Amino acid sequence: MKTSVMQTIDLTGASYSTALLGMIAASILLFLGTGWVRHGWKLPVALCGIATLIGVLVLFEARAVWLSTQQVPLVYHYAGWIISMPVQILALFFFARQSGPLPVALFWRFVVISVLMVLVRYLGEAGYMHATLSFLIGIVFWLYILGELFFGRMDEVVSNAGSAAVQRGYFWLRLIVTVGWAIYPLGNFITSFSGYVDAGGLSITYNIADFLNRIAFGLAILATAILASREDADEKV
């Protein structure tokens, strides 16, 4: 049986290994963290743990493909995103819900739109849909999510919560969804319109982005949950 060995100069393979180990560590920490926070915070923390666990499985498969073929089809990335990104958006929904009630309709809009956001980008890159149309639709869905986070009911609820920890955490989470998630449509644009053929550079970028978009995202929710739980405990004393 032939064994694929990573070479010292293989930066793409190293990025897969580093991201994989980071995802494993973050998943363990997040699932352990569900025991460190009060009941209401367990769900958003666990959802972040699920998102990083999905990343572990995808990175493990993609790393094996890279070592064997020196290329990774984009379908591996999209297979992870179409599950993990909606899960993260729902984690944000339940995060904000700790500060006040949110409409059920918003929950379902987030589920549908976050799935479609990833799906249409994949359809465009895979050639099943016109590349320009899929790119624009994906951008519209992403902007809708940002609009809800910055100007919608979630922003209103968190702003009026009175918890400094939740407001700080919400600020950083919105920043990640704004800046970090911009990497994905940018990669979509490059591959769809510039004729770029990925020789590993795009995979490195996506793997580095995972540290911000999945790991830092989850740890921000965990840190906020711990601080908010302590605030509640101090108020009861």
pTM above 0.85, yes or no: yes
**Model pLDDT for residues 158-217, shown as the tens digit of each residue:** 998 768 899 999 999 999 999 999 999 998 888 877 776 667 888 999 999 999 999 999
Name residue, tokens 């407001």: 167
Q: What is the CATH number of the domain that holds 71?
A: 1.20.1070.10
Q: How far is CA 4 from the centre of its chain?
A: 29
How far, in Å, CA of 49 to CA of 41, rounded?
A: 13
Q: What is the pLDDT of residue 95?
A: 96
Q: How many domains does the chain have?
A: 1
Is 3 part of a structural domain of the chain? Answer: no
**Residue of 53, 23, 64 whose CA lies nearest to 209:** 23
Is 43 part of a structural domain of the chain? Answer: yes
Is 180 part of a structural domain of the chain? Answer: yes
Is 236 part of a structural domain of the chain? Answer: no
Is 4 part of a structural domain of the chain? Answer: no
Q: How many CA atoms lie within 13 A of 211 on its CB side?
A: 11
- Residue 227 buriedness (CB in 10 A; 0-12 / 13-18 / 19+): middle
Is 6 part of a structural domain of the chain? Answer: no
**Model pLDDT for residues 7-28, shown as the tens digit of each residue:** 666 899 999 999 999 999 999 9
Is 199 part of a structural domain of the chain? Answer: yes
How far, in Å, CA of 163 to CA of 129, rounded?
A: 45
- Residue 103 φ then ψ, to 5°: -65, 145
How far, in Å, CA of 82 to CA of 16, rounded?
A: 19
Query: Hey, what amino acid is at 8?
Result: T
Could you list the residue range(s) of the whole structural domain that residue 68 is in?
11-231
